[in-house]
Amino acid sequence: MARRDYYDVLGVKKNASPDELKRAFRALALKYHPDRNAGDADAERHFREVAEAWGVVGDPEKRARYDRLGPLFTDSGRPPSSDQINDMLRETFGGLFRRRRAEGPGEDLTYTITIVLEEAARGVERTLVVQRQVRCVRCDGTGDHPENRIPCASCGGSGKSATRRLFRSECVACDGKGYKPTSKCDRCNGEKRVPLEESLRVKVPAGVATGSKLRLRQKGNDTPPVVGIPPGVTGDLYVLVNVEEHALFRRRGPDLLCEVPVTLPDLALGADVVVPTLEGTTTIRVPPGTPSGKSFRLPGRGLPGEAGKGDLHVRLDIETPSLLSPEARAALLAFSTATVGASHPRRAEFQDALKARR
């Protein structure tokens, strides 16, 4: 077969500029690219012709020789190989025709669990019932009915192309599957994935706080399958932890704060005050004359943290009685008249400062 003139193949004049040549090659290569013309032998022949022409006139040195020799020109006697064409396309188009190697990862899933502070302190295990999208095993993720398949006539069911084709060795008629689907899978209804309810044991480590995120690798969704592409990584499952507010404790990092209401006699006379801990209760001995708002530190009674266990801070606050029986009222009045100046040194100091201003 006589070789066509390379300029005719690209549809440009002999004196076309390198830019014009490149534009013409680009347009024709896009038009006849095998990825866009699957199974079209005519398009593939055109594509090879265009690639061969560009391989010569796209190269200034070869173009000069071709212009001088015309039909006598030989370019090493061989048309460009598929690899050479691919290199040419990469140079001209960048990543436009880069084929996907594998699917992306499946979707991640997020579930929230709510635990109480005591569980956050010592760690806890929970069973989580999750719904994941997994690859359909009935059709192996193809989406078609496995019993209603017709063998592919082009490749005889092998899925392989009879001749080594440009870019791909799979049969283009069946996309390498070896058969033609005729109906949807009766399990996934063509969705390729099916919902699966799964019970998962979740280990919540000691010391978690609200907002802590636990990751269960590959317990999210499977990737939506694509024929001919290896499956991607299954997504992850994230468990968001929510720690309930506690009636007695507030949290500051690994430390716990607890406010304990006491009476004036408790602090003035001294008392044994029962205070809560995460495990139960304990008693602190309050010495006589303890000021209101005083904090007591109970080391190691907090939550596990990075630098070991936190502390429990107990703060004692006087509750002023708002309801007084006649007896209590009389007793308080008697107390008031019985106290001497030295009983309230801070108040005496304050009164002196007030007087000094006048």
Task: Enumerate binding residues for Zn ion (CB under 5 A).
Answer: 136, 138-139, 152, 154-155, 171, 173-174, 185, 187-188
Q: How far is the CB of 101 from Zn ion (least distance, A)?
A: 22
3-state secondary structure of 134: strand
> Quick one: tokens of 294?
């005083």
Q: What does the alpha-carbon distance between residue 141 and residue 133 come to, in Å, rounded to a whole number? A: 11
Element (H, E) at 300: none
> Quick one: tokens of 239?
């468990």
Q: How far is the CB of 59 from Zn ion (least distance, A)?
A: 38
- CB nearer Zn ion, residue 189 or residue 351: 189
- CB nearer Zn ion, residue 177 or residue 301: 177
- CB nearer Zn ion, residue 141 or residue 235: 141
- CB nearer Zn ion, residue 133 or residue 290: 133
- CB nearer Zn ion, residue 121 or residue 185: 185
Q: What does the alpha-carbon distance between residue 347 and residue 339 come to, in Å, rounded to a whole number? A: 12
Which amino acid, 155? C
Q: How far is the CB of 86 from Zn ion (least distance, A)?
A: 23
Q: How far is the CB of 176 from Zn ion (least distance, A)?
A: 7
Q: How far is the CB of 162 from Zn ion (least distance, A)?
A: 10
Q: Which stretches of the chain are DSSP H helices?
A: 6-10, 18-32, 41-57, 60-69, 82-93, 117-122, 264-269, 326-338, 345-357
266 close to 284: Cβ distance less than 8 angstroms: no
Q: What is the DSSP string of 207-230?
A: T--TT-EEEETT-SPPPPP-TTS-
- CB nearer Zn ion, residue 155 or residue 239: 155
**Burial zone of 319 (CB within 10 Å; 0-12 exposed, 13-18 middle, 19+ buried):** exposed
Q: How far is the CB of 311 from Zn ion (least distance, A)?
A: 58
